[in-house]
Amino acid sequence: MEAREPTVIVILAAGKASRLGGTNKLLVEAAGLPVHEWHRRAAGKQPTYAVVRPDDEKAVLSAAPWLAGVIPHAEADGPSGALLSASTALPEGALTVLFADTLLPQVPTQEGDWVGVATAPWRIWDYYDASTEGGWTRGVPEVLVCCGIYRFTNRELLNDICYDLKLGSTNEVHMADVLRSYAPHQPLTELIVTGWQDAGDPDALKRVQPIKET
């Protein structure tokens, strides 16, 4: 039986969190639980690390001692920069990357390279739908979007891409830029993720629903 490739999880939580008043996203509460506790339950026994701002390092370590480690990242260069800090510091193996404000009942363990996608949590709109009689309709349009979880197996390629993007930009480099550069060399599949909830701003946090214990 072929052995599973080792995987570590890294949570990217080094942003400014300006929509949350500057509080690190791992430390805010969602449906009565700190966000870091959501990630602990979702990760299970998989080794999990977090990338945070240096000013948040002590608070995150104190609140979430279950983390295997915390990686400080001081630059405001977007997910790509935080990912580079993580990937160059962590043990070898496949890397599952999770945004701090992505809440899941369980972190997927599917192998290979993939991008987690889910239906966008949109509100009700009037919009055009060619499949309906008359076209115009009212409801919640279903659009698949990246839901803030990714898996990369080629760490050398990932590091080179993030480094090149860092050198070539003076602004934040988003994950879409990483995916565009990675996919031509290492194809990424779309992985449908169920149970995703967003915790990126105060309104989203108010809508988070507890996960029913099974």
DSSP code string of the chain? -PPPPPEEEEEEE-S--GGGTT--TTTSEETTEEHHHHHHHHHTTS-EEEEE-GGGHHHHHHH-TTSSEEEE-----HHHHHHHHHHHHSPSSEEEEEETTEE-SS-----SSEEEEEE-----EEEE-TTSTTSEEEE----EEEEEEEEES-HHHHHHHHHHHHHT-SS---HHHHHHHHTTTS--EEEE--S-EE-SSHHHHHH--PPPP-
**Over 80: is that where the pLDDT of 4 sits?**
no
The C-alpha atoms of residue 60 and residue 58 are separated, in whole angstroms, by 6
Q: What is the pLDDT of residues 140-150, one digit of tens each?
A: 888 899 999 99
| Most confident option among 61-70, 127-136, 167-176 | 61-70
* pTM reported for the whole predicted model: 0.90
Q: 15-29, 68-82, 172-186 — which is least confidently predicted? A: 15-29
Give the pLDDT confidence of 20-77 residue by residue, as tens digits: 777 899 999 999 999 999 999 999 999 999 999 999 999 999 999 999 999 999 998 8
Confidence of residue 1 (pLDDT cuts 50, 70, 90): very low
Q: What is the mean pLDDT of residues 66-95?
A: 94
